[in-house]
Amino acid sequence: MTDPTKQDHAWLVLADGTVFEGRPFGARGSTTGEAVFTTTWTGYQEVLTDPSFYGQIVTMTAPQIGNVGVNAEDSETVGEPPRVAGFVVRDASPLASNWRSQQTLDAYLARYGVVGISDVDTRKLTRHLRDHGAQNGAIGTDPPESLLRRAREAPDMNGLDLVRAVSPKEPYAWTEGRGVWGTFPARPARHHVVVLDYGIKRNILRCLADSGCRITVLPASASAAEVLAQRPDGVFLSNGPGDPAAVGYAVETVRGLIGKRPVFGICLGHQLLSLALGGRTYKLKFGHRGANQPVKDLTTGRVEITTQNHGFCVDLATLPAGARSTHIHLNDGTSEGLSAEGLSAFSVQYHPEAAAGPHDALYMFGRFTAMMDANPRPSGS
């Protein structure tokens, strides 16, 4: 048996007592969070910097991670730092081989204090989480008994408002569009969109800008009156972490906006719109996280491959009259989209902006601008 005092060994210990051995990676120390897995094969930097992963220890099912290094342009955080609580990989590349790379993944994690573990049997770990459910865990070089105690003492994700930790404190404007190897100024704006930032991914803002939107971003705590005071043509509800039912202040704001301006929500925004309409949400066993999630559009019959990152879901049976389910997940039949057409509001559970891909659902941003075209803001309002 390996000596637990050796500093070249680390452990991931789950709250149910399961222990996975590996090696320290990134920052040294220990960390706790909800242990989850993502099946995406590319875009590990986008995973690390997605605010929806705040408070979670993320396992990559792809075996080799770090090959292309890290660069400033691919960060999904508005501001560069990663958002995950911890990072678990099978094979961490010590070298970065890409012309865009600015530093190795190991150095990047160490720089920002993200504790990781490599050389883990991630296939076994993923199967365990799939069979037994996402649960709290702890990573570190401390003895496994100590890590188990920390994992069991960590707060449960149910009832946890994590939005306040990732939402900005002050409003800001956004003007940057997308580019193939960088970013460029967006096209001329036709619509003014207020974005409620619950932990938004940067590529969502770029896609809105590319769709011809002038963007004003407000904190998650903004009231409906504060949003409407900006005189927007439409309102966007962003992704974000944690339990949607715990973000009551955001639900109240959305409830005050429905029917007054066109509304488009993504991920947490989809869940908050559902709650504002009178629906309910619940926690999935292990969630949907990855860039290969199949979704069916119930209107067109088209199947899209999508990027997703969520542990909570809308209860389709609780959607009120006037709210129509528009998309379902083909693996388990759960909610992936809704429309409240009489109120000019719609949302999707997945990420149509999808950096690093796929881009099957990118047209959703065009649907939003078409809705604003069809429902112009009344003069003087």
The pLDDT value given to residue 2: 41
Measured N-to-C along each axis, helices 248-257 and 268-277 cross at an angle, to the nearest 10 degrees, of: 70
pLDDT confidence of 6, banded at 50, 70, 90? very low
Of these residues, 213, 267, 270, 313, which one is catalytic? 267
For the chain, domains (ranges, CATH) are 10-153 (3.50.30.20), 163-374 (3.40.50.880)
DSSP secondary structure letter of residue 94: S
User: Residue 139 is encoded by which pair of tokens?
Assistant: 């990573």
Q: Peptide bond before 356: cis, by omega within 30 degrees of 0? A: yes
Q: What element of type H or E holds 212?
A: none
Mean pLDDT of 34-44: 94
Residue 353 pLDDT grade (very low, low, confident, very high; cuts 50, 70, 90):
confident
Residue 3's pLDDT band, with cuts at 50, 70 and 90, is: very low
Closest CA to 83 of 54, 106, 43: 54
Active site residue 213: no
Distance CA 330, CA 306 (A): 11
Would you say residue 213 has pLDDT above 80? yes
pLDDT in tens, 286-317: 999 999 999 999 999 999 999 999 999 999 99
Distance CA 277, CA 258 (A): 8
Burial of residue 169, with CB atoms counted within 10 A of its CB: 0-12 exposed, 13-18 middle, 19 or more buried: exposed
pLDDT for 189: 84
- Residue 4: closest CA among 141, 151, 149: 141
Hey, which residues does 304 pair with through a beta bridge?
295
Q: What is the pLDDT of residue 7?
A: 60
* pLDDT tens-place string over residues 132-189: 999 999 999 999 999 999 999 999 999 999 999 999 999 999 998 875 444 555 567 8
DSSP string, 103-151: B-HHHHHHHTT-EEEES--HHHHHHHHHHH--EEEEEESS-HHHHHHHH
> And the tokens for 158?
């149910």
Among 34, 304, 336, 353, the active-site one is 353
Average pLDDT over residues 25-44: 95
- Catalytic-residue membership of 288: no
Classify residue 161 by its DSSP letter: -
Residues near 274 by Cβ (< 8 Å), separated by ≥ 6? Answer: 280, 281, 314, 319, 323, 335, 338, 347
Q: How many CB atoms lie within 10 A of CB 330?
A: 14
Lookup: tokens for 356? 């690093």
pLDDT digits (tens, 9 = 90+) for 92-126: 999 999 999 999 999 999 999 999 999 999 999 99
Q: What's residue 134's pLDDT?
A: 98
- Does residue 353 carry a catalytic annotation? yes
Asked if 180 contacts 147 with a C-beta cutoff of 8 angstroms, the reply is no
Write the pLDDT tens digit of every residue in 248-291.
Answer: 999 999 999 999 999 999 999 999 999 999 999 999 999 999 99
The catalytic position among 191, 288, 310, 351 is 351
**Which tokens sit at 164?**
């306040």
CA–CA separation, 220 and 197 (whole Å)? 5
Query: 159-173, 243-257, 332-346, 366-380 — which is least confidently predicted?
Result: 366-380
